[in-house]
Amino acid sequence: MNKTQKPWGGRFQADTDREVEAFTSSLAFDQRLFHHDIIGSIAHAKMLARQGIITKREAKIIILGLQDIHSDIAQGEAVFYPGDEDIHMAVERLLIEQVGEVGGKLHTGRSRNDQIALDLRLYLREELKEIDELTQVFQGVLQQLARQESKTIIPGYTHLQKAQPVLLAHYFLAYWEMLERDRGRFADCYKRVNVLPLGVAALAGTGLPLDRAYVAKLLAFPVISRNSLDTVADRDFVAEFIFCASLTMMHLSRLCEDMIIWSSGEFGFIEIGDAFTTGSSIMPQKKNPDVAELVRGKTARVYGNLMAVLTMLKALPMSYNRDLQEDKEPLFDTIDTLKASMSVLTGMMQNVQFHRARMLEEAGRGFSTATDVAEYLVIKGVPFREAHGIVGRIVRFCLDQGKAMTDLKLEEMRRFYGGFEDDVFQCLDLENSVKRKKVLGGTSHEAVAARLMEMEKQS
């Protein structure tokens, strides 16, 4: 084959238009699959020889050629042509150039339709492992922060209104739980990625006596796809992966949102280290949480990638269609974005200084222990609804008087409910409020420490 000849040249009389060549080519982005493409091809060649479809000698020549091409591409020495439509055709052309006509036997019983499905699955398997490792490292940092801030009390919010005091450790472990669910989702996705597609050829299977079980064994696939049409048409695993990534990005983005708010002058809860913030080109005093903002912003791209893939798939007729080539850029972008975000946030969170006194000060404002007083009344036998009303009226009174509940005298409290005793003031104490939340999953020191212990045992 020369530069302009195509593998399908037999049927064609005219060369491909230059613009069409550029428009249809995926090489610019699917190059990143070269390693997995070659691994897959080596397994295929071994199987062809074992089945007597090519000779052992031919397989050996092909495999050695593929290994050379692998190192050439890895070292940036391979030369690609504009006519190389994708990584599969580029490798095949390089192989034929390198080893001669015998290279043309590699594609026996195979189509690029099952080949690309294989490459993507091989590639995604590895990326899923890396993502899991990055996630575990980040979870480790969250655990470390929880240990470090095991006594720090922050205001807990609902509706971004001060609600009840909670431990900062409990806050960090909330993100640990989210990431643990993410890991579970990715692990489940892995099962559907981990299926061998190779061997179904273009769409129908092949008349040649391929041994798919042998290829599955060589490439460590526990499952072999069972319908040739579905095999070449299926990109569920790509959509599923990007969905999993979307949820993980959403979790990271929510953490970032809190860090952005907390680092504002108005909150003043944290300061993000200089190495993980940026300045302003005009306002000399500024220190901006750009890393957190960008993770939040990049979450949108990943959602966009999910929409792109779902929309691309929605009306495809059976079976393979070239539209499927449009899965790669969203997939690769998702992987790059997720890994970069996870990694930079892992660094950022280790560079945050917590202003504990400021957090505590705010935790005490806004009647954050009002619910504790209502629970106090419940223990005294007051029905909860009534208790809620009593405490609500006390809060109203305090608001009118410009006082905090801790400013009230026992006599003043008793005007709202005669049964109040001195110990009610213990309920107003932040430390006690947190300690009381002993219920499984609650924010008490005890419950949080117990959960942390479970996590440590698990890892």
Catalytic pick from 150, 159, 319, 368? Answer: 159
For position 113 contacting ligand ARG by CB under 6 A, the verdict is: yes
Among 16, 26, 228, 341, binds ligand ARG (CB under 6 A): 26
For 354, phi then psi, to 5°, come to -100, 125
Cβ 27 to ligand ARG shortest distance, Å: 9
For position 167 contacting ligand ARG by CB under 6 A, the verdict is: no
Cβ 324 to ligand ARG shortest distance, Å: 5
Distance in angstroms (rounded) separating the CA atoms of residues 322 and 362: 58
Q: Which residues contact 157 (CB under 8 A, 6 or more apart)?
A: 163
Cβ 231 to ligand ARG shortest distance, Å: 13
Q: Which residues contact 253 (CB under 8 A, 6 or more apart)?
A: 295, 296, 299
| Residue nearest ligand ARG (C-beta atom) | 325
For position 86 contacting ligand ARG by CB under 6 A, the verdict is: yes
- Show the site string, 345-374: x = touches ligand ARG by CB under 6 A, - = not: ------------------------------
Q: What residues does 288 pair with on adjacent strands?
A: 278
Closest to ligand ARG by CB, 36 or 298: 36
Tell me the number of residues near ligand ARG by CB under 6 A: 8
Closest to ligand ARG by CB, 86 or 234: 86
| Known catalytic residue at 319 | no
| Known catalytic residue at 159 | yes
Among 46, 112, 121, 298, binds ligand ARG (CB under 6 A): 112
Closest to ligand ARG by CB, 113 or 194: 113
Tokens of 53: 């479809």
* Segment interacting with ligand ARG, rule: CB under 6 A, options 109-117, 174-182, 241-249, 348-356: 109-117
Can you tell me whether residue 184 is helix, strand or coil?
helix
Among 47, 59, 106, 116, binds ligand ARG (CB under 6 A): 116
Examine residue 281 and say whether the peptide bond preceding it is cis (omega within 30 degrees of 0): no
For position 308 contacting ligand ARG by CB under 6 A, the verdict is: no
CB-based burial, 109-122: b 16+ in 10 Å, e otherwise? bbbbbbbbbbbbbb
Tokens of 312: 């691309």
The residues in 314-333 that bind ligand ARG, with binding defined as CB under 6 A, are: 322, 324-325
> Distances in Å between the alpha carbon of 57 and those of 91, 94, 134, 377?
20, 19, 43, 87
- Show the site string, 47-66: x = touches ligand ARG by CB under 6 A, - = not: --------------------
Give the angle subtended at the CA of 364 by the CAs of 360 and 366, to the nearest 5°: 135
CB-based burial, 381-415: b 16+ in 10 Å, e otherwise? ebeeeebbbbbeebeebbeeeeeebeebeeebbee
Closest to ligand ARG by CB, 152 or 305: 305
Catalytic pick from 280, 281, 319, 433? Answer: 280
Distance in angstroms (rounded) separating the CA atoms of residues 338 and 132: 11
Which are the catalytic amino acids?
Answer: 159, 280
Residues making contact with ligand ARG (CB under 6 A) = 26, 86, 112-113, 116, 322, 324-325
